[in-house]
């Protein structure tokens, strides 16, 4: 497997779709790596793995712990570190934290949420040698400020945000929670790849949260999530069988004993 680079990712604009998936640990990163172009250590892990109700309490230490594990499990994958809430409020804070990411992990790039209002921060990071992926549309880190997760339909703002991030030097963008027709217009308005999540098919690639697409996260299912397997049922059935076999002394049998 050949590792993707900024050049090969950018060259996929309008061509073969980019495949991106979140990963939070070495075990699963290793399983996903052969099939995806990029692994995102998303702060969504704060919900699915840390059990919190949103992503806002994720910390740099927590994200670095998971990123190191993902890089160890998938050393040939292009790994993106999701900057947690509060870690990029201004240029200096953002650069200090991005430097930490590069010094303490093997992540290839960072991702941060926000459009035009964050463009000066993206530009500062890029000018200091940091590879930055933008994230516009529905911003999960704004859930408390916005009072919920809402599909975004302000075309002018989305176009401005996408352009501003492209001009600031972002190598790609995530576009989240936008109607498919509008997402197509945003994708066509910039020369960098646009990776959709809840943004329809006319974008340059897709990203999903792995525990959602494997059907492991049962709390809620946004409309855009497709479950490629019924993970929660598979796990529960297996653990139930194990428990039954232990109680009935069927496990361990001769084949599983020394």
Interacting residues with ligand KIV (CB under 6 A): 22, 40, 42-44, 82, 174, 197, 207, 209
Distances (CA, A) of 135 to 28, 139, 239, 243: 24, 7, 38, 44
Rounded CA-CA distance 220/131 in Å is 33
User: For helices 119-127 and 155-168, what crossing angle results, to 10°?
Assistant: 20
> Minimal distance in Å, beta carbon 137 to ligand KIV?
10
Closest CA to 89 of 67, 109, 60: 60
- So which residues are the catalytic ones? 176
DSSP letter at 228 equals: S
**Distance, CA of 212 to CA of 222 (rounded, Å):** 9
Q: How far is the CB of 254 from ligand KIV (least distance, A)?
A: 45
Comparison of 22 and 77: residue with beta carbon closer to ligand KIV:
22
Q: Which is nearer to ligand KIV, 158 or 197 (CB)?
A: 197
Judged by CB, which is closer to ligand KIV: 73, or 140?
140
Q: How far apart are CA 73 and CA 106, in angstroms?
A: 11
Can you tell me whether residue 165 is helix, strand or coil? helix
Give the dihedral sign, CA 117/120/123/129: negative
Residue nearest to ligand KIV (CB): 42
The distance of closest approach from Cβ of residue 20 to ligand KIV in the complex, given in angstroms and rounded to an integer, is 8
CA separation for the pair 131, 203 (Å, rounded): 21
Closest by CA position to 137, among listed 185, 98, 67: 185
Residue 122 or 209 with smaller CB distance to ligand KIV: 209
As a whole number of angstroms, the distance between CA 249 and CA 236 comes to 20
CA distances from 249 to 42, 237, 240, 242, 246 (A): 42, 18, 14, 10, 5
Q: Work out how close the CB of 30 gets to ligand KIV at its nearest, in angstroms, rounded to a whole number.
A: 19
Supply the minimum distance, in Å, between the C-beta of residue 32 and ligand KIV.
13
Which of 35/258 has CB closer to ligand KIV? 35
């Amino acid at each position: 497997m050949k590792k993707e680079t900024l050049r090969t990712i950018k060259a996929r604009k309008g061509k073969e779709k980019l495949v991106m998936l979140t990963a939070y640990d070495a075990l699963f990163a290793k399983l996903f790596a052969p099939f995806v172009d990029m692994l995102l250590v998303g702060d969504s892990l704060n919900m699915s793995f840390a059990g919190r109700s949103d992503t806002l309490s994720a910390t740099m230490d927590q994200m670095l712990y998971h990123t190191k594990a993902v890089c160890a499990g998938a050393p040939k994958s292009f790994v993106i570190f999701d900057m947690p809430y509060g870690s990029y409020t201004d240029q200096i804070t953002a650069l200090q934290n991005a430097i930490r990411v590069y010094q303490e992990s093997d992540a290839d790039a960072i991702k941060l949420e926000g459009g035009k209002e964050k463009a000066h921060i993206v530009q500062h990071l890029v000018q200091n040698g940091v590879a930055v992926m933008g994230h516009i549309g529905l911003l999960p880190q704004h859930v408390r400020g916005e009072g919920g997760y809402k599909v975004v339909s302000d075309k002018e703002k989305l176009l401005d945000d996408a352009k501003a991030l492209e001009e600031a030097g972002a190598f790609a963008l995530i576009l989240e929670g936008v109607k498919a027709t509008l997402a197509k217009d945003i994708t066509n308005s910039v020369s960098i790849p646009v990776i959709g999540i809840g943004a329809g098919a006319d974008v340059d690639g897709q990203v999903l949260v792995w525990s959602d697409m494997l059907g492991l996260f049962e709390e809620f299912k946004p409309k855009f999530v497709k479950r490629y397997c019924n993970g929660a049922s598979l796990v529960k059935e297996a653990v139930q069988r194990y428990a039954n076999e232990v109680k009935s002394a069927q496990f361990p049998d001769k084949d599983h004993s020394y």
